[in-house]
Chains A and B, each alone.
Chain A
């Protein structure tokens, strides 16, 4: 083969390979195909799940629920008593059996969420957790040194505020309900929901303001 031909062949080879998914993606594709062929997954189940996730899942769900709880004491009580039912009542796309538990911040209480075992999180409601939530460091330190972790997020608790750390599991996933910011009387639910950040629902941020935490 001439050098011209061999360069052409090498180029073609690279071109072909460039379309290959990365190894783990290919491996997953193979696993998914096997599961579909054997009837353990419906053919379009993954696409449908991703569609639903893309359209209906994300921190905005928690923000809507929290804004309603701020403005409707009966709803707040329902959220405290039966969080899945409250979520489902406001956002019907959320399964009424979804294992979510809302925990409320108060003047003397601050809540922080972690999963010490792996990475349990209310993904089906609030979307994927941030990278740091899954990190070994956060999982290890949130229980051992919650105030230190909070300080690294810029959250310094006033004296007299207790920290409660909630360890999520596969069948019990928590969401923090932050306190309503001062100076928001008369605001619409939509405007209030816009103040709620993902980190505040995990508990690494305590005080909400019209300026988002940007994470």
Chain B
């Protein structure tokens, strides 16, 4: 399993496969963590979440997407963006800008050093 970045705070925390809590990729665990935290914090209603995820999975299935974990987690992330936008927690343009900043940070950080965003 590849860590998502070179920082020491992530990458060693993949759940223990022996406990039956397998994630194929680290970000799969992280996207679930973000959703669970937003639900637990009352930022997302669990009913809205289930309905939106179900609709997105149905939509992808109807459009011929393969019935795989990859499709599932891509749908999961897409729905997380939808519900955070609908709840005015994070707009697509905010995420776009931040994604570009992270990309630039990765590309300008020498291998082996922590990747950090510059202060804004």
Given the complex of chains A and B, what is the CA–CA distance between A30 and B120 in angstroms? 14
Residues of chain A lying within 8 A (CB to CB) of residue B25: 22, 25
| Contact present for A33 and B89 (CB under 8 Å) | no
B26, B34, B43, B74 — most chain A CB neighbours (10 Å) = B34
> What is the CB-to-nearest-CB distance from A176 to chain B, in angstroms, rounded to a whole number?
15
Contact with B along A109-138 (1 / 0, CB 8 A): 000000001111001100110010011110
> What is the CB-to-nearest-CB distance from B21 to chain A, in angstroms, rounded to a whole number?
4
Residues of chain B lying within 8 A (CB to CB) of residue A118: 50, 53-54, 57
Count the A residues whose beta carbon is within 8 Å of the partner chain — how many? 52
CB of B118 closer than 8 Å to a CB of A:
no
CB of A198 closer than 8 Å to a CB of B:
yes
CB of A19 closer than 8 Å to a CB of B:
yes
> What is the CB-to-nearest-CB distance from A171 to chain B, in angstroms, rounded to a whole number?
6
A32, A46, A53, A118 — most chain B CB neighbours (10 Å) = A118
Q: Which of B13, B23, B61, B102 contacts A128 (CB 8 A)?
A: B23
> What is the CB-to-nearest-CB distance from B94 to chain A, in angstroms, rounded to a whole number?
5
| Contact present for A24 and B77 (CB under 8 Å) | yes
| Contact present for B46 and A30 (CB under 8 Å) | no
> What is the CB-to-nearest-CB distance from B49 to chain A, in angstroms, rounded to a whole number?
6
| Contact present for A31 and B81 (CB under 8 Å) | yes
Residues of chain A lying within 8 A (CB to CB) of residue B22: 128
Which residues in A have some Cβ–Cβ distance to B below 8 Å? 15-17, 19-22, 24-35, 38, 40-41, 44-47, 49-51, 53-54, 57-60, 117-120, 123-124, 127-128, 131, 134-137, 169-171, 198
